[in-house]
Amino acid sequence: MSLEQRITRAWQQDSHWLKLLLPLSWLFRVISSWRRHYLQSRYQGQCFDAPVVIVGNISVGGSGKTPLILALISACKQRGFKPGVVSRGYGGKAPSYPLAVTAETSVAESGDEPLLIAKLAQCPVVVHADRNAAVAHLLSHNDCDLVFSDDGLQHYRLHRDIEIVVVDGQRGFGNGRCLPAGPLRESPRRLQQADFVVVNGGTGAALVSGNIPSAQMQIAPRRMTQLNSGISQSIGQWLIEHQVKTVHAVAAIGNPQRFADTLASLGLEVELHSHDDHQALAAGDLSFEDDLAVIVTAKDAVKLRGSGPNQRHGNDSIANNIWVLEIEAQIESDFIDRLVGQLQSLKTAD
């Protein structure tokens, strides 16, 4: 178990030794609150030519931001918007920035999440640590009338018109403490200032209080795609054809257990092999001493395809046994309607 995984488990279990870090957490909370108010008072109001929608969270680790962004892009396209996406591009290192990401961009330059969005959403994507520069580049080089920021809730130098905070409905806020004694980047009270809160999985009722507009989201498995060939099958077809009961699940994402739970919901017995978020998977991470199917996430698949699966494994039988679980975020239609209504009001105001 890696250090990242040990710390995450300690936060969830509220291990007693974390109390030693409470003074640092209190200091972090004060500084983060002051930083937010200072930067927003200085930069909020410096609008762009298109509304900017932040999709972020207040805790570290995966909460479901990327599936939500993909679903929102699709919904907004259907309603006539021309969206684009900006991202920090965590894990990537490009020769220069801003970096315009396409389906052909190297994952080593873009990072996994921006490349996944560019491939699946088929919309302009720009990566830059300075999201103001990313938005400016996106709008000046593309015909976009709407910008989604993948993460960036705490990037307070970036003007935002709408904030959507995603909360993991299973893990919640961990032990409720700020870093480093807990997983929170900001206090749960921060939700009171958001425009919308989306709870991913679980019941979520106890996580969102007051009059905060909230919605429920569920992750639904849609297809299995063979990593080597790109051939896709429906979940039902794949289960019937392969007649498998036990699979290896390999995931280098923020919440690997959610991935395992999704596979288990299909009636599979899952042997989970979890790795740190954004970690590049090596050949040994995908090879096992049996012939069970190996299933990876779509986020990990863009890294594997970018490296060439045949070269990585050197064995076609192994490569052909690696499958990608394609998922889709299901969101309450009322939330989409409210978001679109707010966006249309912003366009009218301009």
Helix axes 65-78, 333-349, angle to 10 degrees: 60
Taking phi first (over 0 means left), then psi (-120 to 50 degrees means alpha), and beta for anything else, what does residue 161 get? alpha
Q: Which residue has the tokens 């499958």?
A: 323
Confirm whether residue 60 is marked as ligand binding: yes
CB atoms within 10 A of CB 181: 25
Q: Which residue has the tokens 């995966």?
A: 62
Task: Output the CA–CA distances (angstroms, integers) from residue 101 to 115, 161, 211, 273, 281, in the order listed.
Answer: 7, 24, 38, 30, 22
Confirm whether residue 65 is marked as ligand binding: yes
276-293 in b/e burial notation, b at 16+ Cβ within 10 A?
ebbbbbebebbbeeeeeb
**What distance in Å separates the CA atoms of residue 249 and residue 123, rounded to the nearest whole number?**
30
Signed CA dihedral, 65, 122, 71, 279: sign only: negative
Residues for the chain: how many in total?
350
**Contact (Cβ atoms closer than 8 angstroms) between residue 332 and residue 215:** yes
**Contact (Cβ atoms closer than 8 angstroms) between residue 129 and residue 159:** no
Confirm whether residue 348 is marked as ligand binding: no
CB atoms within 10 A of CB 321: 23
Task: Output the CA–CA distances (angstroms, integers) from residue 309 to 286, 287, 302, 316, in the order listed.
Answer: 10, 12, 11, 9
Confirm whether residue 63 is marked as ligand binding: yes
Q: Which long-range contacts (CB under 8 A, 24 or more apart) does 70-73 make?
A: 70/117, 70/120, 70/121, 70/328, 70/329, 71/328, 71/329, 71/330, 71/331, 72/148, 72/336, 72/339, 73/117, 73/121, 73/123, 73/148
Confirm whether residue 66 is marked as ligand binding: yes
User: What is the three-class DSSP state of 62?
Assistant: coil
**Contact (Cβ atoms closer than 8 angstroms) between residue 111 and residue 278:** yes
Q: Which residues are annotated as a binding site?
A: 59-66
Q: Which residues are annotated as a binding site for ATP?
A: 59-66
